[in-house]
Chains A and B, each alone.
Chain A
């Protein structure tokens, strides 16, 4: 199993507004080609390709070749470094307080 990309690599990749827009576009589609990404974006195909390389290196996207075309899709696991412990437990404890209220109502109506 490959080690997850470092938080640094991930942040650097997403810090670029154009690249972030490319990533958002990929997230919104199931699969998308470079041509489709470039269409009407005002960004050249070669610039898009560079952004795709960075996103792939950061573990945010995966690609699949079919004939002459390469299709890109989002990799949800790539975002794991951003779902950090604090975010996890922030949600976790709030949910547990709700459970606790319910339990208390049951045992001490």
Chain B
């Protein structure tokens, strides 16, 4: 494994769906504390204004207490909402490791409803290419087999 190269890049998660509701209705679910709590997680200190800081409480890991710290960086009513999404601790690897990301919601009116696009960006992905290559199919099998034990990991 001496030829192993480890590179780091940032990656993003995108979920893009058309919902059969008006942008104004969806906007309410994204920017009202009570409603956010009903589909995402209950925010603490949320106010729909640029610069607002709020938090979410998630599962702790190691020295990290599980708090996600957010700050609204962009807000265009019925169109766009972006907030930072930070947490984690250096003592952790994988889940619970340092996280410095941005969550962006974009709404656009389309026939039959609204296209809602989520982009969660800024993930630092470590890629150990030769290890991934050599693990190949066998690894998928391991993941399958560990399914039941891995459930206990959280």
The chain A residues found within 8 Å of chain B, CB to CB, are: 1, 3-8, 11-12, 14-15, 17, 20-21, 23-24, 27-28, 74, 76-77, 79-86, 88-90, 93-94, 96-97, 99-104, 107-108
- Do A103 and B139 touch across chains, with their CB atoms under 8 A apart? no
Q: Is the interface of B mostly helix, strand, loop or mixed?
A: mixed
- Do B94 and A4 touch across chains, with their CB atoms under 8 A apart? yes
Q: Which residue of A lies closest to B146 (CB)?
A: A27
**What are 13 A-B contacts defined by CB distance under 8 Å?**
A4-B62, A4-B93, A15-B131, A15-B135, A27-B149, A76-B146, A80-B93, A83-B94, A85-B88, A85-B101, A86-B13, A97-B118, A101-B19
Given the complex, which residues of B lie within 8 Å of A93, measured CB to CB? 13, 15, 118, 120
- Do B118 and A102 touch across chains, with their CB atoms under 8 A apart? no
Residue B25, interface by CB 8 Å: yes
- Do B153 and A86 touch across chains, with their CB atoms under 8 A apart? no
Given the complex, which residues of A lie within 8 Å of B141, measured CB to CB? 24
- Do A99 and B39 touch across chains, with their CB atoms under 8 A apart? yes
Smallest CB separation, A57 vs chain B (Å): 15
Q: Tally inter-chain residue pairs, CB-CB below 8 A.
A: 128
Q: Which of B34-72 contact A (CB under 8 A)?
A: 35, 38-40, 61-62
* Contact among A20, A76, A83 with B142 in the assembled complex (CB-CB below 8 Å): A20
Smallest CB separation, B135 vs chain A (Å): 6
The chain B residues found within 8 Å of chain A, CB to CB, are: 1, 6, 11, 13, 15, 17, 19, 21-22, 25-26, 28-29, 35, 38-40, 61-62, 88, 91-97, 99, 101, 116, 118, 120, 123, 125-126, 128, 130-132, 134-135, 138-139, 141-142, 145-146, 149-153
Query: Once the chains are docked, how many angstroms separate the CA of A75 from the CA of B84?
Result: 34
- Do A85 and B17 touch across chains, with their CB atoms under 8 A apart? no
Smallest CB separation, B76 vs chain A (Å): 20
Query: Once the chains are docked, how many angstroms separate the CA of A102 from the CA of B19?
Result: 11
Q: List the 6 closest A-B pairs by CB distance, nearest first.
A: A81-B93, A99-B39, A81-B94, A11-B131, A76-B149, A76-B153
Given the complex, which residues of B lie within 8 Å of A28, measured CB to CB? 145
Smallest CB separation, B114 vs chain A (Å): 10
Query: Once the chains are docked, how many angstroms separate the CA of A59 from the CA of B130?
Result: 21
- Do B25 and A86 touch across chains, with their CB atoms under 8 A apart? no
Given the complex, which residues of B lie within 8 Å of A27, measured CB to CB? 142, 145-146, 149
- Do A103 and B120 touch across chains, with their CB atoms under 8 A apart? no
**Supplied contacts A85-B101, A86-B123, 6 more A-B pairs, CB within 8 Å:** A4-B93, A17-B138, A23-B142, A76-B152, A85-B94, A96-B40
